[in-house]
Amino acid sequence: MHYADEAKRRLLIWQKRFDIILGIARGLQYLHEDSRFRIIHRDLKASNVLLDKNMIPKISDFGIARMFGGDQTTEYTRKVIGTYGYMSPEYAMDGLISIKSDVFSFGVLVLEIITGKRNRGSYEPELDCNLLGYAWMLWKEGRSLELLDEALGGNFHHSRVLRCIQVALLCIEAQPRNRPLMSLVVTMLSSENAVLPEPTEPGLNPGMTTSSDTESSRTRSATANFLTVTRLEARGHALTVASRRSIDHLTTPACLGGAIHRGSSMRRLALCLVLLAAFFPVLSISTDSIGLATSISGNQTLVSPGGVFQLGFFTPDGARRYLGIWYYNIQEPNPTIVWVANRQSPLVNNSPGVLRLSTDGHLAILDSQNATVWSSAAPTTNVTAGATAKLQDDGNFVLSSDGSVAWQSFDYPTDTLLPGMKLGVDIEAGITRNITSWSTPTDPSIGTYTFKLVLGGLPQFFLLRGDAMIYTSGPWNGEILTGVPYLKASDFTFRVVSGPDETYYTYSIGNTSLLSRLVVDGVAGQIQRFVWINGAWSIFWYYPMDPCDNYAKCGPFGYCDMAQTSQCNCLPGFQPRSPQQWNLHDGTGGCVRSTNLSCPGGGNGSSSDGFWVVSQMKMPEATNATVYDGVTLEQCRQVCLSNCSCRAYAAANVSGGVGSGCVVWAVDLLDMRQYTTFVEDVYIRFAQSEIDALNAAANSRARPSKRVVTTAVVATVAGVLLLLAVGCWWWRKRRGKKDSSAPGGGDDVLPFRVRKHPDLDEEWRSAEKDVDLPLFDLEVILAATDDFALSNKIGEGGFGPVYMGKLEDGQEVAVKRLSRRSMQGVVEFKNEVKLIAKLQHRNLVRLLGCCIDEDERMLLYEYMHNQSLDTFIFDEGKRRLLRWQKRFDIILGIARGLQYLHEDSRFRIIHRDLKASNVLLDRNMVPKISDFGIARMFGGDQTTEYTKKVIGTYGYMSPEYAMDGVFSMKSDIYSFGVMVLEIITGKRNRGFYEVELDLNLLRYSWMLWKEGRSVDLLDEAMEGSFSYSEVLRCIQVALLCVEVQPRNRPLMSSVVMMLASENATVPEPNEPGVNIGKNTSDTESSHGLTSNNLTITAIDAR
């Protein structure tokens, strides 16, 4: 912006200014949310936004930017570098960096673009306001349009100007948690119908001081009477020290921004300090604790020493107030509450509430009438005058006196278990620690679901709905909870401690930057573990996960197996109690023995029964089992045989690989399920005749026939001879290669080597330099994939087969090997490599390198642990794992990736083969668009292109592309619409969903839309809750994307906006385009559509 040049400002008409604002917002959204790394710019300002020849804004100057990795969201720095007037309060005053720091700077920048004025000026001399304070004053008075640059004239959109001002004010709020994410900013700016929250007062901004640039040491302290700032180095002007004895400059609210010098009247100083306390009551508490003489009320909060957690009052439903603890730097869309004090006794009638530490050692919440609405349990030690209640960085609110803990919030969890918290029973202290769901998402009162320890036998944790058990973790065997044998993670340590005085479960996290919480979700009816990843909470795991997790699903002596269609099965030697119920897939009646035990006929201890071992099973419920300490398994066997009621036994503790102690079941065996991994040996009692029958059956399966033995011997001998021949050939080939290699071409130069074709080698070296992409040696790839072993093959597409490999440094990669049948040449392959290497987005698969060696051409990508989307949405079992929220996140992620390709990348990329199998899912189920083998890059203003050879996948190709060879961004958008419907329904487009009408998925969706039955499209296999309005909006957007006329299909930026905003106006769709998805031939041929007498030629379709 040329603030001093009125002539240049006149050239920036309102539409251009709005486009610049939106462009900056999208660039910042990419840095914060869409890049593979979270980038914090730290110095966003007008002079760091460059404009190209088309006045498109480009964010520049990343000299002091910070890159956050993994789950990192905040960082502290002792050296604050930035520009006054743009720095957020928490950054300028505390050195706290986050994406919200950039959001604040963006808000300042928006106001400057709108007004044509710098923030660091005085715009209301009587009040000494800077731009932020002036904008806030006009907003409160309903005069915001007066902010608009007078050089603009009268040609502007009033509502859009007001929306931009409102968004800017939201971005500069004092509390970082209240500032929106940039994705929400883009949505609010783009959608005229988006509902915007009311802004609150702007944050304290140190932009008004005028002293010279200095770097000084300081100690920060904020009270109602003084403010001191330490070690602040800034571009422009620096804050100098203000102390009790000497105040040179005082940074004040936006409308008190003038410097207060020595010699200024005491009256003005007093006025400033009073107004400072009035405008910013939160500054009266800038600490992590309260004592007997202090309290917090209203909007005041405590913040833990490291800025991890915050304690204060919150109002989830807009009416009732609660005292809670939440993550200090996670506020989107609302603070993540981890503990509530008064969940059963909220403050009502707009009572602000006061938290106070009383002299008798109780923490108490008082209402406006000074009545106690909640108080903590009696302290466990004497409370002296020096007692304090402190909020710690682990989220624990601890009342201590003389070094002893008198009370702590960790002993009274609500719905969340944080690292270090205990879930269980402390018999000695008389404390039971359970976690119980909220009643509703906006009502913290005690809900329906509780996760708790049930004492008796072996430690075991249950999820209850009321009094009904709906899930159990399985018994603890000293090493694992046997119902969650796969629960292992490198960053987590899970422990169960069992003793005579206390039994509990707890967990810790090795990576201190990783945030995680265990929650009882009352909506889903699950326990869910969340981790903070890429600026959002991601579900790490949840239980119950599938039908086999339902408590006692298959009744006594039955077990559940998800690999079986019927799911419920009887243990060996048992049969269904009710075959009729069993055939109806109702296994709750369980199973009964086929042959009764010999007891009591055998007398005392003389039973002839035996035991059959199962080892890949969840251990039966053990709360009613009996545990014998200090006995061996053989002794346990004798104990079981001597008791006619004994059904089974197992080692009570298998930690360290050695079983010790014994657990005996004298009750029916309940809640077992089959796993594919070893859990523990459980010895189930049978009549000896059953044992003999089971052994005979096992031996018959294991014993090969003579003919099989003979065949195996012959095959083995032939195989050895073949291996010798292949080994000799391979040795001679390797020797020949070594002889022809250049000197010094040993291990020290891998993964590169001198190639046999110098021209080709020089071309690729040039390409490597252009795109900064490594060229891998063929031998490295052969070693990584075990010579392209069939066991490492993970898929195959139009490009060729894909293999999983592991490089020498342990990095897992996916290797796409170009098929010799592919028509793609070296030049095209090189262009594709250069194209993909320049694309950087969290929703695009990352290219790690490539290889070309004679006839071999390969691409190395990051390995996606969950493979492709089609393996989930079209698989009956896996589809159940994709709840609605996860499906919606995948849809939105794909949309953002496609928006980047079409509109935000330096080059306009048309994918041309977008489909479910070309969307990969990483370990966190984040979607990544892949397979750019037939993608095209458009330059300049190009929007369409014709091709004589149409290459794509039936069911996804748009009509104009399939029939006329015309492709554009709108071709990809059509494919996206098809894929959205597939994700929602779990069905392929190329099927028949209304046999009489011969409809594919698009036509079927359109029919249901017209009939008002679109919700019927939702996948029946999907479990959990969902938002009807969100589902309908996705279906409507999908139908807009598959319209017959390309011009009617929305741009991907509009798609993202419509998906992300609940209040966006979504147009009514028209009938979907003609789709040739019903043809079943995948060869190149001529096709005729008789309805229009059209002929399609030269179609090479996958």
Residue with tokens 């209240």: 178
Q: What does the block give as tokens for 604?
A: 């005392």
Return the SS3 of 856: strand
Task: Report the C-alpha gap between 473 and 544 in whole angstroms.
Answer: 9
> Of residues 724 and 231, which shows the higher confidence score?
724
Q: Is the pLDDT of residue 715 over 60?
A: no
**pLDDT band for position 762 (cuts 50, 70, 90):** low
Q: Is the pLDDT of residue 1084 over 80?
A: no
State residue 677's pLDDT score: 79
Partners of 508 in beta bridges: 493
Look up residue 499 and give its two tokens.
Answer: 């003793």
Return the pLDDT at 367. 92
CATH match for 287-412 among 3.50.50.60, 2.60.120.680, 3.40.50.300, 2.90.10.10: 2.90.10.10
Give Cα 307 distance to the centre of its chain. 22
Q: Which of 194-203, 555-564, 603-612, 617-626 has the highest mean pLDDT?
A: 617-626
In tens, the pLDDT along 812-823 reads 899 988 765 555
Specify the amino acid at residue 686. Answer: F
- Going by C-alpha positions, the residue among 781, 851, 780, 785 that lies closest to residue 818 is 851
pLDDT at 95: 79
pLDDT band at 727 (very low <50, low <70, confident <90, very high): low
What is the C-alpha separation between 249 and 258, in angstroms, rounded?
9
Q: State the pLDDT confidence band at 252, using cuts at 50, 70 and 90.
A: very low
Mean pLDDT along residues 1012-1028: 83
Judged against a pLDDT cut of 50, whether residue 205 lies above it is answered with: no
Those residues whose C-beta lies under 8 Å from the C-beta of residue 352, and which sit 6 or more positions away, are 297, 298, 313, 321, 368
Mean pLDDT (whole number) for 695-717: 56
* Confidence band of 718 (pLDDT split at 50, 70, 90): low
Q: Is the pLDDT of residue 75 over 60?
A: yes
CB 545 within 8 A of CB 529: no
> DSSP letters along 185-237, please?
HHHHHH-TTPPPPPP-PBPP------PPP-------EE-SS-EE--SB--BS-
Please tell me the predicted confidence (pLDDT) of residue 583. Answer: 79
pLDDT tops 70 at residue 756: no
- pLDDT tier at 16, thresholds 50, 70, 90: very high
CA dist., res. 627 & res. 625, Å (int): 7
Confidence of residue 312 (pLDDT cuts 50, 70, 90): very high
pLDDT tens per residue across span 904-939: 887 788 888 899 999 999 888 999 998 887 788 776
Contact 555, 547 (CB under 8 A): no
pLDDT value at position 204? 56
Of the two residues 562 and 637, the one the predictor is more confident about is: 637
Q: How many CB atoms lie within 10 A of CB 645?
A: 11
Going by CATH, does the domain composed of 869-1060 fall within 1.10.510.10? Answer: yes
Which residues, 6 or more positions from 326, have their beta carbon under 8 angstroms from its beta carbon? Answer: 309, 310, 314, 335, 336, 337, 338
State the pLDDT at residue 996. Answer: 61
Interval 961-975 mean pLDDT = 86
Highest mean pLDDT among 251-265, 713-727, 959-973: 959-973
Residue range 188-207: average pLDDT? 75
CB 873 within 8 A of CB 809: no
Region 797-807 average pLDDT: 81
Residue 953 or 5, more confident:
953
Q: What pLDDT band is residue 553 in, cutting at 50, 70 and 90?
A: very high
194/163 Cα distance (integer angstroms): 10
What's the confidence (pLDDT) of residue 865? 85
For the annotated catalytic residues, the residue numbers are 913
- For range 89-96, the mean pLDDT: 81
pLDDT of 486: 66
At residue 674, φ and ψ (nearest 5 deg) are -85, 140
Exposure on the CB side of residue 567, measured as CA atoms within 13 A: 17
Indicate the domain borders of the chain. Answer: 6-190, 287-412, 549-599+608-696, 768-862, 869-1060
User: Best-predicted range by mean pLDDT among 265-274, 280-289, 1047-1056?
Assistant: 1047-1056
Which of 421, 374, 381, 380 has the alpha carbon at shortest distance from 397? Answer: 421
Assign a CATH topology to domain 6-190: Transferase(Phosphotransferase); domain 1 (1.10.510)
User: Who has greater pLDDT, 99 or 723?
Assistant: 99
pLDDT of residue 997: 62
- The average pLDDT across 360-372 equals 92
Judge whether 257 and 233 are in contact, CB under 8 Å.
no
Among 283-297, 973-987, 1054-1068, which is the least confidently predicted range? Answer: 283-297
Q: Alpha carbon of 751 to those of 761, 774, 808, 814, 988: distances in Å?
A: 14, 9, 10, 17, 42
Least confident among 77-86, 537-546, 765-774: 765-774
Residue 218 reports pLDDT greater than 60: no
Taking alpha carbons only, the member of 902, 918, 924, 923 closest to residue 978 is: 918
Closest C-alpha among 49, 62, 82 to residue 206: 82
Give strand ranges (E) for 866-1022: 908-910, 919-921, 927-929, 936-938, 944-946, 950-952, 966-968
Phi and psi based region of residue 655 (left: phi greater than 0; alpha: psi -120 to 50; beta: remaining): beta
C-beta of residue 752 within 8 angstroms of C-beta of residue 777 = yes
**pLDDT of the residue at 726:** 56
Tokens 């000084």 correspond to what residue? 216
* Res 839: pLDDT: 76
| Contact status, residue 397 vs residue 339, Cβ threshold 8 Å | yes
Mean pLDDT for the chain overall: 79
Beta bridge partners of 96: 76
Element (H, E) at 536: strand 536-543
Residue 826 has pLDDT above 70, yes or no: no
Residue matched to tokens 């695009």: 844
**Are 976 and 983 a contacting pair, CB within 8 Å?**
no
Tokens representing 485?
Answer: 């044998």
Q: What is the DSSP string of 716-735?
A: HHHHHHHHHHHHHHHHHHHH
Contacts of 673 (CB under 8 A, 6+ apart): 483, 548, 549, 553, 559, 560, 561, 562, 617, 618
Question: For residues 1020 and 213, which has the higher predicted lDDT (pLDDT)?
Answer: 1020
Instruction: Report residue 722's pLDDT band, with 50, 70 and 90 as the boundaries.
Output: low
* Percent of the chain predicted with pLDDT > 70: 75
Structure tokens at 879: 């589809």
Q: What is the DSSP letter of 549?
A: G
What's residue 517's pLDDT? 94
- Tell me what percent of the residues of the chain surpass a pLDDT of 90: 37
H helix and E strand count, the chain: 23, 56
Which residue reads 């990419």 in tokens? 30
In the structure encoding, which two tokens stand for residue 331, read together? 């506020």
Residues in the chain: 1102
Question: Do 6-190 and 768-862 fold alike per CATH?
Answer: no
Give me the CATH topology for the region 768-862.
Phosphorylase Kinase; domain 1 (3.30.200)
* pLDDT number for residue 949: 62
Confidence check: pLDDT of 416 > 80: yes
CA distance 1076 to 957: 8
Predicted pLDDT at 673:
92
**pLDDT at residue 884 tops 60:** yes
Cβ within 8 Å of residue 498, ≥6 positions away = 459, 476
Q: If you average pLDDT over residues 122-136, what whole number do you get?
A: 77
